Amino acid sequence: MMTAKRINPDLQRERDAATIDPEELTRIIFDGAKELDKKRKLEDAVFNDPDYKSIPLNFMSREEQYEEGIRRSAIAVTKKEALGDLIENHNDLISYNTLACGIGNAFFLHESMFADSIKRMATDELKQKMMPLQQKFEIIGTYAQTEMGHGTFLRGLETTAHYDPNTQEFVLNSPTVTSTKWWPGALGKTSTHAVVLAQLYTQGKCHGIHPFVVQLRSLEDHKSLPGITLGDIGPKFGYGANDNGFLRLNNHRIPRENMLMKYSQVAPDGTYTKPPKAELTYGTMTFIRSMIVRASAFGLARGTTIAIRYSAVRRQSEMRPGEPEPQVLSYPTQQYKLFPLLATAYAFFFVQKKMVETYSVVNQQINDGDYTRIQELHGLSSGLKAFTSWATNVGLEICRMSCGGHGYSMSSGFPKLYVDFTPNCTYEGENTVLLLQTARFLVKSLKEGKRGAKLPGTVAYLSSNVTELRARATSAGRDLKDPRLLVALYKERAMRQIMFASDKVEAARSEGLDLVGALNRASVHLVRAANAHSHLLVVENFHEKLQELKVSQKLKKTLLQLFQLYALDGITNCSGEFLEDGILSGTEVKAIRQYVVELLPLIRVNAVALVDAFDFRDEVLDSVLGRYDGNVYEELLKWALSSPLNKTDVHPSYDKYLKPLLHRNRSKL
């Protein structure tokens, strides 16, 4: 993209009129001036490097995309070594890789799920052998769990690992077509190794799924090893540069030591020792789920940046004859589409920080052998992953449509943004399934709370009862814009939804259904309850952040408006749940609907500044509509002219097909 020469005057006016300093907010989003500086230096390192330049992805075939992804990912590994202090932690690494690899990081799973599984679950000996190879990129790993027949139901996986005490090896097989490993990223062509999840058999008994490190390809010529059949699963909705793959195993032998045996073991004679907690095998998924909350915040921030900047530049429909056409951002309906999403992006930025903090604290406890909070972490990460990724998924499509026709062009950046984001709702646990996991934890917590047990932080409110919650809400006063009241209202709504779903579970139980059957019968209500709980966590956390942040008064006021918009708009979207138990009256819901509309012009003053604060460089945004300088029309024309179809004035198909058609009657004339 060209460097900005002149800023579009409409966009400049928006920036001049803002009451907040976007930089103050950017520092908060990126955890302070030092971290922000590091982020920007990383961006400079990538975008000033000619090795990272390529033709736009949209003009490449899938094979070219794959090759370009590998090229960039490979050079990113070598260049990263020269960046020293700029890459201090996992977040820096993700940011760097996302920037450098651009169209798709071929080694994401190598550096996340493959490495994390080994770190988390391997014996010290296996760790010492594998980690240096992994870290120096002498091998490339992926995480092969999902099969053609099962992704969600892990206990139903069919791949087998039979222990042979004579050779002290596991023999791996894919016994059916449906047991073919299917979907793992970078499995088809790139990876040399995988953590493979398989049903463990020893001494004639099945002990359920366990992870094994399996070499797939030769480290000399990259050919697949005997007993291994590998390939790419073909083109997908998005992720064109990634070789999501399939894997079949045919009597493939691996040494006993390649089982990840920190928690469960198979002794040389085949004796099995079970783990202290079966769920420990699932830890790597919890880790990525918590990262998806972060990806949701960034995804929605990116969508709203494009849509709001473009809406400030786009003028349409003179209201009265002769009047200048207004910026579409000035229409209340356009504001109503976009500003609640802007507020949501901020709410998600704050909640992802909480998610990451909680994950790191509980994960440390798990490493130290304390498993008391493992269920809470699972309930929290599953709920927030599902809640935030669904909202972002829907929000991105609203952003795209708010850009009218130009939103449909690849140049808008939306098609790639959407197709790459939407699998966040599916992978790492399909969202409905995850909300059911959260609900299971909520129902249990409610029961324990009633028994007087002390509940962990995120569900502590379930040890109160609705009368207490109602009394607390009333004591907060009845100013419907008061954050304390809004949090109390969300709390009561969540509690009531959880109680309702629990009652349905109990009713099914009293009809004689077992717990699983009862949970299944009540599952629609349970999903609603988990959703309401996750919504509450986002609202409550946003409120806590408002109180903690040490910022200028002007920014505080704007953040408060965003909080109010997020919370009030959320009520209007689920008003039935607030009305049915009298948490709010019909008159109050109507008043809230009006407050939402009244907040829109207040946010409007700072809308562009609020998206500028997300600090997306044009190269990252990759959108003609969302450019910082707002020079949309000139760049749209340039973009179209660069389309390969425009390389020649007359396309070769003219001679092949059009000319014979157009000229077919000429000889008869």
Ligand X SMILES: Cc1cc2nc3c(=O)[nH]c(=O)nc-3n(C[C@H](O)[C@H](O)[C@H](O)COP(=O)(O)OP(=O)(O)OC[C@H]3O[C@@H](n4cnc5c(N)ncnc54)[C@H](O)[C@@H]3O)c2cc1C
Ligand Y SMILES: CCCCCCCCCCCCCCCCCC(=O)SCCNC(=O)CCNC(=O)[C@H](O)C(C)(C)COP(=O)(O)OP(=O)(O)OC[C@H]1O[C@@H](n2cnc3c(N)ncnc32)[C@H](O)[C@@H]1OP(=O)(O)O
Among positions 152, 367, 372, 573, the unique one binding ligand X when judged by CB under 6 A: 152
Query: If binding is defined by CB under 6 A, does position 423 make contact with ligand X?
Result: yes
Binding-site residues for FAD, please? Answer: 146, 185
- Of 231, 229, 251, the C-alpha closest to 243 is 231
Nearest distance from C-beta of residue 327 to ligand Y, angstroms = 29
Among 427, 595, 639, 654, binds ligand X (CB under 6 A): 427
What does 279 interact with, of ligand Y, ligand X, none (CB < 5 to 8 A by kind)? Answer: ligand Y
User: How big is the site for ligand Y, counted in residues (CB under 6 A)?
Assistant: 31
Pick the binder of ligand Y from 292, 386, 494, 536 (CB under 6 A): 292
Q: φ and ψ at 467, to 5 degrees? A: -65, -45
Of residues 112, 146, 392, 411, which one binds ligand X by CB under 6 A?
Answer: 146
Which of 71/617 has CB closer to ligand Y? 617
Q: Can residue 287 be called a binding residue for ligand X (CB under 6 A)?
A: no
The secondary structure element, H or E, covering residue 172 is strand 169-173
CA 379 – CA 392 distance, rounded (Å): 20
Nearer to ligand Y, 288 or 494 (CB): 288
In whole angstroms, what is the distance from residue 190 CA to residue 74 CA? 11
Q: Spell out a b/e string for 488-504, using b for 16 or more CB atoms within 10 Å of the CB, else e.
A: bbbbbbbbbbbbbbbeb
Residue number, 75 or 154, with CB nearest to ligand Y: 154
CB count within 10 Å of CB 484 equals: 14
CA distance linking residue 515 with residue 505, whole number of Å = 8
Query: Counting contacts by CB under 6 A, is residue 186 touching ligand Y?
Result: no
**Residue 195 binds ligand X, judged by CB under 6 A:** no
Q: What are phi and psi of 34, to 5 degrees?
A: -65, -45
| Amino acid symbol at 36 | L
Q: Using CB under 6 A, which of 286, 344, 445, 534 touches ligand Y?
A: 286
Which amino acid, 391? A
Residues 66-95 that bind ligand Y (CB under 6 A): 94-95
Please identify, using beta-carbon distances, which residue of 146 and 159 lies nearer to ligand Y.
146
Sequence-ordered list of residues with C-beta below 8 angstroms from that of 136, at least 6 positions apart, any chain = none
Q: Give which of ligand Y, ligand X, none residue 291 binds (C-beta under 5 to 8 Å, depending on kind).
A: ligand Y
Phi, psi dihedrals of residue 12, rounded to the nearest 5°: -60, -40
Q: Check binding of 390 to ligand X (CB under 6 A).
A: no
Judged by CB under 6 A, the residue of 47, 282, 331, 639 near ligand Y is 282
Contacts (CB under 6 A) with ligand Y, residues 350-389: 374-375, 378
Distance CA 542, CA 537 (A): 8
Residues 429-488 that bind ligand Y (CB under 6 A): 429, 433, 437, 440
- Contact, 289 vs 381, CB < 8 A? yes
Residue 244: which of ligand X, ligand Y, none does it interact with, CB under 5 to 8 A by kind? ligand X
Does 621 participate in binding ligand Y (rule CB under 6 A)?
no
The one-letter code for the residue type at 264 is S
- Kindly list the distances between the CA atom of residue 180 and the CA atoms of 146, 224, 238, 283, 390, in Å, as whole numbers in the listed order: 9, 16, 22, 23, 29
**23 among known catalytic residues:** no
Stretch touching ligand X by CB under 6 A, among 148-156, 297-305, 328-336, 342-350: 148-156
Q: Is 107 exposed, middle or buried (0-12, 13-18, 19+ CB in 10 A)?
A: buried
Number of amino acids touching ligand X (CB under 6 A):
22
For residue 175, give the 3-state DSSP assignment: coil
Interface characters, 233-272, with ligand Y (x: CB under 6 A)? ----------------------------------------
160 is an interface residue for ligand Y by CB under 6 A: no
List binders of ligand Y among 411-430 (CB under 6 A): 427-429
Q: 562, 346 in Cβ contact below 8 A? A: yes
Q: Binding string to ligand X for residues 226 to 245, with x set by CB under 6 A, is what?
A: -------------x----x-
Site for ligand X contains 462 (CB under 6 A): no
Extended beta strands in 239-338, E state: 245-249, 252-255, 265-266, 272-273
Which residues contact residue 42 at a Cβ distance below 8 angstroms, ignoring those fewer than 6 apart? 83, 86, 87, 92, 95, 96, 99
Instruction: Spot the catalytic one: 428, 492, 540, 635.
Output: 428
Structure tokens, 498: 């959880």
**Distance between CA atoms of 417 and 422, rounded to whole angstroms?**
9
**Residue numbers of the site for ligand Y (CB under 6 A)?**
94-95, 98, 143, 145-146, 151-155, 185, 279, 282, 285-286, 288, 291-292, 294-295, 298, 374-375, 378, 427-429, 433, 437, 440
Active-site positions read 428
**Residue numbers of the site for ligand X (CB under 6 A)?**
109, 143-146, 150-152, 183-185, 239, 244, 423, 426-430, 432-433, 436
